[in-house]
Amino acid sequence: MFSSVRYAHAVSSPALARRLGLADAVVIGLGAMIGAGVFAAFVPAAQAAGTGLLVGLGIAALVAFGNATSTAQLAAVHPTSGGIYAYGRAELGPWWGFIAGWGFVIGKTASCAAMALTFAAYVAPAGWERPVAAGAALALGAVNLFGITRTAQVARILVTIVLLVLGVVAVAGLASPPAPTAAAGSGWLASGPLGILQAAGLLFFAFAGYARIATLGEEVRDPARTIPRAIVLAFCGALVVYAVIGVAALRVLGPDGLAAATAPLVDVVRAAGWDAAAPIVRVGAAAASLGALLALIAGIGRTSFAMAREGDLPRLLAAVDPRWHVPRNAEIAVVAVVVAIVLLGDVQGAIGFSSFGVLTYYLVANIAAFRQRGGARRYPRILQVLGGAGCVALVVTLPWPSVPVGIAVLVVGLGYRMLRLRRRAA
């Protein structure tokens, strides 16, 4: 655990402020998850597994639940910014913390790009997707600079819009006759175990939003009680939404139609004969993507801030705005990198790379939580074993480009830390 001297120094004025309650934390977590899963991850998961994506969703949910309980258990003991980066340092040592923090920063920065590009896919004219996505990242980065309560207020509005729109999609999909390809499907395991595990790895991307709650440890009131409750509530709410929408999409489009979709939930309402609802769904998709992007920028900014405060990233990123009490420089840097990725990358590549980084992050969380003893323990160790083993299994089954690129970027980060430590010792 952080010593009192170090902690006092770390939060010296100006500091982050505890302004968020339970509802605020749940909304931020839901905003991060719903946008990612419903509007971005189902298509590549259907490409990998067909109708087996629902089995993949179940596997992803089991692994994510193990990770969520590990995160909640750690958050109750370490109420500080940085999430599992901070928990890994405290429970396992600085190198473990760095692996977790670097995995989170690189993985979730890719997620930001995926969300910005998903937003643009629903609202931008053809050929303007990348400029619109970059503009969205810049705009929400600016919102985050005006304080965490402003972030929570905007997230609440976006999540409300999204849930209303998803209700329309669910009714349209479940009330319509199934597509012929869905009714005559070739079975849950037609894609084989590898395809289902690939789908699970891609869909795990959709559940990782609860980590945003943990990264806000210094901005939540009564964090030891609030953060664990918010993580579990946000996870359960997102799981219900994913299951309902996944069933509706497969029912109406069939696995092939879902795999080929560019705007899947718009295609659902159109295939169901609800053409008039298509513009409403586009609004919901845009709101969901923006909600996820907003929460992601906030979470990455706090983790980068925590890493910089410990010297694992440039110290310049540890600056806190004296008026708005946000990690100003860290958030500006995150948005700059996201804009660069948006102008060069693609959604599916970003999702696979993000899953690699985030699975690495949660592997550290499970190891750290497994080692906790005594009063710190809240959940049985079998959940940490399940979460950790699941992270390893899903990493090795991710689509091919994601794994070598993820390993290379992880090695670059470790090399940077090693050089910095050698320079400091010289």
What are 286's two structure tokens?
């845009």
Asked if 367 contacts 92 with a C-beta cutoff of 8 angstroms, the reply is yes
What does the CA dihedral 188, 383, 211, 155 come to, rounded to 10 degrees? 60
* pLDDT score of 381: 94
19-425 under CATH 2.30.30.230, yes or no: no
Rounded to an integer, what distance in angstroms lies between the CA atom of residue 102 and that of residue 97? 8
Determine the length of the chain.
426
Q: Give the containing element (helix H, strand E) for 156.
A: helix 148-175
Instruction: Please give the pLDDT value at position 371.
Output: 93
Cα distances (Å, whole numbers) of residue 188 to 42, 53, 193? 16, 8, 10
Give bridge partners of residue 81 from the DSSP assignment.
Answer: 216
Q: Cβ contacts of residue 86 below 8 Å, gap of 6+?
A: 2, 78, 80, 97, 217, 306
How far from 381 is each of 75, 185, 196, 372, 387, CA to CA, in Å? Answer: 16, 39, 26, 9, 10
Measured between alpha carbons, how far is 87 from 73 in angstroms, rounded to an integer? 10
pLDDT value at residue 182: 52
- Local mean pLDDT, 10-residue blocks, the chain (426 residues): 41 65 85 72 86 89 90 86 88 95 89 86 87 94 81 83 91 86 50 83 77 76 85 90 91 89 88 92 86 84 91 92 87 94 75 81 94 90 93 83 87 94 85
Three-state DSSP at 216 gives: strand
Three-state DSSP class for residue 145: coil
List, in sequence order, every residue forming a beta bridge with 220; answer none if it has no partner: 20
Pair 253, 262: CB distance under 8 Å: no
Q: Go through 77-113 and write b for each residue having 16 or more CB atoms within 10 A of its CB, e for each that does not.
A: bbbbbbbbbbbbbbbbeeebbbbbbbbbbbbbbbbbb
User: How many CB atoms are located within 10 Å of the residue 149 CB?
Assistant: 15
**What is the DSSP code string of 383-410?**
HHHHHHHHHHHHHHTS-TTHHHHHHHHH
Is the Cβ–Cβ distance between 245 and 232 less than 8 Å? no
User: Residue 37: what pLDDT?
Assistant: 64
List, as own/partner pairs, every contact residues 137-140 make where C-beta atoms lie below 8 angstroms and the sequence separation is at least 24, other chains included: 137/112, 137/113, 137/293, 137/297, 137/335, 137/338, 137/339, 137/342, 138/335, 138/339, 140/290, 140/293, 140/294, 140/297
Burial class (CB in 10 A: 0-12, 13-18, 19+), 125: exposed
- The H or E element spanning position 75 is helix 53-77
Contact 288, 34 (CB under 8 A): yes
d(CA 203, CA 352): 10
- Does the reported pTM lie above 0.85? no
Residue 38, Cβ density class (10 Å: 0-12 exposed, 13-18 middle, ≥19 buried) = buried
Q: What is the per-residue pLDDT for 100?
A: 94
pLDDT of residue 322: 87
- Which residues make Cβ contacts (< 8 Å) with residue 52, sequence separation at least 6? 188, 189, 190, 191, 195, 196, 199
3-state secondary structure at position 220: strand
Tokens 């001297």 found at: 5
